[in-house]
A and B are shown apart, each in its own frame.
Chain A
Amino acid sequence: GENVEQHPSTLSVQEGDSAVIKCTYSDSASNYFPWYKQELGKGPQLIIDIRSNVGEKKDQRIAVTLNKTAKHFSLHITETQPEDSAVYFCAFAGGTSYGKLTFGQGTILTVHP
């Protein structure tokens, strides 16, 4: 079935450093790749997404890159701040899955002041 592998499961960085989280997916027909941030006790919130016709997208300190040939996509956070500490999930949709999202296992990011 469809699945996505997300690494690392935990990531600890110092404030100001960069953080990178990578996901590898299985369904080559996938065409939509969102990243969600989940803070404790809250639902996931979309922070950035990318579609298959684009290789990279940036929004201030956050960027996502997509390599369709290798079937992986990555989240890059630069100049990390303590408020970036949260759980981050990658996901994908498309192909035969219409809007249904398949999620990675999550990465716990901790930014130390």
Chain B
Amino acid sequence: GAGVSQSPSNKVTEKGKDVELRCDPISGHTALYWYRQSLGQGLEFLIYFQGNSAPDKSGLPSDRFSAERTGGSVSTLTIQRTQQEDSAVYLCASSLMGGAGETQYFGPGTRLLVL
């Protein structure tokens, strides 16, 4: 079946502009995660959605970052007033229920470059 998809695959923007990144999880997966991967670094947790529960936003680096998940499926990560340090690959993952020990399936990522 279809895996996790993300769009756009690449995004170049100017400092100060807002960007929206989209994630389509695997159908039926109730848990969705956003991670950020800076150049040459590991993945850094940003936010977690599970069903209708309040999301865990503890990883968001600043109030310029926000995310929503509509209808328990598609998620959008929004970065307002982008800064050069926001340049990174933004990865989305989904899992069936969100528990520890569940396999997380990753999308291909969105490569964001802020000029």
Contacts and interface: CB of A to CB of B under 8 A. Distances in A.
Interface size range of chain B in the complex: 20 to 34
B107 A101 contact: no
Contacts of B108: 41-43
Q: Give the interface centre of B91, B95, B104, B109 by most chain A CB atoms within 10 Å.
A: B104
Contacts of B50: 99
A101 to B, nearest CB: 6
Given A43-B91, A44-B91, A101 B41 contact: no
B41 A99 contact: no
Given A89-B43, A99-B33, A99-B99, A45 B106 contact: yes
B18 interface: no
Q: Give the interface centre of B4, B45, B98 by most chain A CB atoms within 10 Å.
A: B45
A106 B42 contact: yes
Contact of B106 (A31, A44, A49): A44
Contact of B43 (A51, A93, A97, A103): A103
Contact of A101 (B4, B40, B104, B109): B104
Interface in A65-113: 89, 91, 93-95, 97-106
